[in-house]
Chain A
């Protein structure tokens, strides 16, 4: 938490105490930040200021990680649902995999929901047993989260 404040206020004058809080990593939490102001007012030597509110994630991604687990030769696929919060509506404008040799994917937009939900369908195309790791990057129209990264684990037996 960063703070700036008036050092001295003349009689009858006004001043300010400005608090700035960062919310990185606070998704899903209700945060409450306290600042104690020290003054030379004999009746108010300390005054407590409180800032409180909810912090939500830029997008709800469920499940967080894509796991493709199954037997070689059989259909192995998974779906990831991406839900933008009302205060951060966005569109997905691009989908790309870092490697892409073992997976196929496509994005589906659910236009009936508001905000629009997206479903990322991921399918295994590795024909033989083995393990792999990939990363899918979704480009969004949101300035808060221009990219959403989804990790993909494949375990083909």
Chain B
């Protein structure tokens, strides 16, 4: 009976440890990147045909993991 209680307590402790560790794991967010552009639209003042218009869109990674840009698609 004593042995049974001990094993029961051990099982309970084990269960608590596993679930609590699992719980804390779920609570801490996984490191992830967060892309924030300063602006996404740029309106340029009139230009003469034939001139090139260049604009730099700046972005910040406000996340906790490196942000990757695998590609930029243009038509």
Is B68 within 8 A of A20, CB to CB? no
> With the chains together, A37 CA to B67 CA distance in Å?
12
The bracket for how many chain A residues form the interface is 35 or more
Residues of A near any B CB (own CB < 8 A): 1, 3, 5-27, 33-44, 47-58, 85, 87-88, 144-145
Total interface residues on B, CB under 8 Å, equals 42
For residue B58, which residues in chain A have a CB less than 8 angstroms away from its CB? Answer: 14-16
Contact with A along B35-75 (1 / 0, CB 8 A): 10100111111111111111111111111111111111111
Q: Which of B33, B40, B52 has the most CB of A within 10 A?
A: B33
Which residue on B lies nearest to A45, using beta carbons?
A: B35
For residue B44, which residues in chain A have a CB less than 8 angstroms away from its CB? Answer: 51-53
Residues of B near any A CB (own CB < 8 A): 31-35, 37, 40-75
For residue A26, which residues in chain B have a CB less than 8 angstroms away from its CB? Answer: 49
For residue A19, which residues in chain B have a CB less than 8 angstroms away from its CB? Answer: 54-55, 57, 74
29 contacts between A and B (CB under 8 A): A1-B74, A9-B69, A10-B61, A11-B31, A11-B65, A13-B61, A14-B58, A16-B56, A18-B57, A19-B55, A19-B57, A21-B52, A21-B53, A23-B50, A35-B73, A36-B74, A38-B71, A40-B68, A41-B35, A41-B63, A41-B67, A44-B34, A49-B37, A49-B42, A51-B42, A52-B41, A55-B47, A55-B49, A145-B50
Which residue on B lies nearest to A58, using beta carbons?
A: B48
Using A7-B69, A40-B70 as known contacts, say yes or no to A51 and B55 having CB atoms under 8 A apart: yes
For residue A17, which residues in chain B have a CB less than 8 angstroms away from its CB? Answer: 56-57, 59, 69, 72
> With the chains together, A54 CA to B44 CA distance in Å?
8
For residue B46, which residues in chain A have a CB less than 8 angstroms away from its CB? Answer: 53-56, 85, 87
> With the chains together, A55 CA to B63 CA distance in Å?
39
> With the chains together, A38 CA to B68 CA distance in Å?
9
